[in-house]
Amino acid sequence: MEIVAFGVQTDERPILEKAFAGRHQIRSLDVALNRDTAPIAHGYEIVSAGVTADLGADVLQTLAAGGTKMIAQRATGFNNIDLRAAADLGMSVGRVSRYSPYAVAEFAWGLALAVNRRIVMASHRTRNFDFRLDGLIGRDLRGRTAGVLGTGRIGEAFTEIAHGFGMRLLGWDLAENPRCLDLGMAYVTQERLFAEADLLTLHVPLVADTRHLIDADALAAMKDDAILINSSRGGLVDTVALVDTLKAGRLTGVGLDVYEEEGAYFYADKSLDVIGDDTLARLMTFSNVLVTSHQAYFTEEAVDQIVEATVANVEDYLAHRTNANMLVTRGQLPAAVR
């Protein structure tokens, strides 16, 4: 069987093609799956989608009309998929429920260190042979408070690193993580977390209840010199409110690997285009803001695990089996997803 895969990165392509070799043919495309590109999948029973895919009802209808019966998403989050529409169309939808948590946690720490110590600004200066230290002063993290919003596998990995830095640990989640408790984390309310964190990092999924979790009120509650890191999902942060906060001279630094409207920009070269998103354009003007293009997951280990899980999802679908990664199985929504 030939499978078409959308949103395949250059470094990902050989890993994906090697994993499917001897099993199925795979057509790798670098374009994201959306309403404009969905017709390309005509005639393909199985479609694999990248993290920035738009799998709303209209896209799913186009895919189904072209014969697609199974979506194999190479990502954990599924807020971009209309699962009910997929079920109504009789489709199967699989995702990757887990991969290396260290990939994302370590990258989140990379963002935190970069904005705290002004590393990007310093690099730009020294490339121009400007070796002044003006405006580059940072802060020791030892003894300061790390606020971890979401203490699942990634939040736990972030907490272990924070513990190594000698930070005070505060956390919030629906359920307490025993490993984080062993490291000395105190679980507190969101309000207290916002108020006391010197470094606030987000590791919760994007669902209805968490959209714009970091809104104007949350930002107002944070310390004026706090650092905010988001390597989870862009929609967790109200970016307009964040820009207003930065314009007011608040927050020492912000590191964002995700953006709520990233689908229109991330994973594409927009350097010669006029950027129509005024919020994103304004965000880029702040010297204490670092934006990267949803690459926190992008390590060899994590991509290997993502591809292995994707292959397993495809094989299980073809064998009429189900597994824990399946969000929709031949039109049936699991009880946990309904």
pLDDT digits (tens, 9 = 90+) for 184-216: 999 999 999 999 999 999 999 999 999 999 999
Task: Assess whether pLDDT exceeds 90 at residue 334.
Answer: no
Q: Are 245 and 251 in contact (CB under 8 A)?
A: yes
Name the band, by pLDDT with cuts 50, 70 and 90, for residue 337. low
Percentage of residues of the chain with pLDDT beyond 90: 96
Pairing of strands 25-28, 2-5: parallel
153-166 pLDDT tens trace? 999 999 999 999 99
124-144 pLDDT tens trace? 999 999 999 999 999 999 999
Name the band, by pLDDT with cuts 50, 70 and 90, for residue 333. confident
Task: Assess whether pLDDT exceeds 80 at residue 338.
Answer: no
Which listed residue (95, 262, 282, 320) is catalytic? 262
pLDDT for res 77: 87
Task: Assess whether pLDDT exceeds 70 at residue 261.
Answer: yes
Q: Give the C-alpha separation, 226 to 242, whole Å.
A: 13
Which listed residue (144, 168, 203, 294) is catalytic? 294
Q: Which domains does the chain have, with CATH numbers?
A: 2-99+300-328 (3.40.50.720), 101-291 (3.40.50.720)
**Full-model pTM:** 0.92
The HSE-up count of residue 136 (CA atoms within 13 Å, CB side) is 15
In our burial notation (b when 16+ CB lie closer than 10 A, e otherwise), range 207-224 reads eeebebbbeeebbebbbe
Task: Assess whether pLDDT exceeds 70 at residue 335.
Answer: no
The HSE-up count of residue 232 (CA atoms within 13 Å, CB side) is 29
Helix (H) or strand (E) holding 106: helix 101-116
pLDDT for res 45: 98
Active site residue 294: yes
Residue 231 structure tokens? 């390597």
50-60 pLDDT tens trace? 988 999 999 99
Task: Assess whether pLDDT exceeds 60 at residue 308.
Answer: yes
Active site residue 262: yes
Which listed residue (233, 301, 321, 338) is catalytic? 233
Task: Assess whether pLDDT exceeds 60 at residue 62.
Answer: yes
